[in-house]
């Protein structure tokens, strides 16, 4: 959907979250770690109003709270994300 077309149905009736602050983004990825602050990662979210498909791109930015970790480090060490099988 990055080209403003739905990746599922091809529709151009796609909306994107606005702003780049934590309060304005429609979707924020949170990881919960043991004995530390939770990490929050910003996203770009694209929603197709025709088929309701939601594409989310997680940005590889620094986190808002706690130690500045990468997305991969944070997800692998979290308690609320598991590897899909």
15-29 pLDDT tens trace:
988 765 555 556 777
SS3 58: strand
Cα 46 from chain centre: 11
Looking at per-residue pLDDT, the higher value among 68 and 11 belongs to: 11
Instruction: Give the domain ranges of the chain.
Output: 14-75
17-63 pLDDT per residue, tens: 876 555 555 677 777 766 666 777 778 888 999 999 999 888 776 55
Position 80 pLDDT exceeds 90: no
Cα distances from 37 to residues 32, 59, 69, 85, in angstroms, run 7, 19, 11, 28
Pairing of strands 39-48, 28-31: antiparallel
Count the Cβ atoms, other than its own, within 10 Å of residue 54.
Answer: 14
């Amino acid at each position: 959907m990055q080209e403003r077309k739905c990746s599922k149905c091809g529709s151009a009736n796609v909306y994107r979250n606005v702003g780049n602050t934590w309060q304005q983004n429609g979707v924020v990825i949170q990881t919960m770690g043991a004995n530390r602050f939770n990490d929050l990662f910003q996203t770009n979210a694209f929603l197709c109003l025709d088929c309701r498909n939601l594409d989310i791109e997680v940005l590889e930015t620094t986190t808002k709270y706690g130690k500045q970790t990468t997305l991969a480090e944070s997800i692998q060490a979290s308690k609320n994300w598991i590897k899909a099988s």
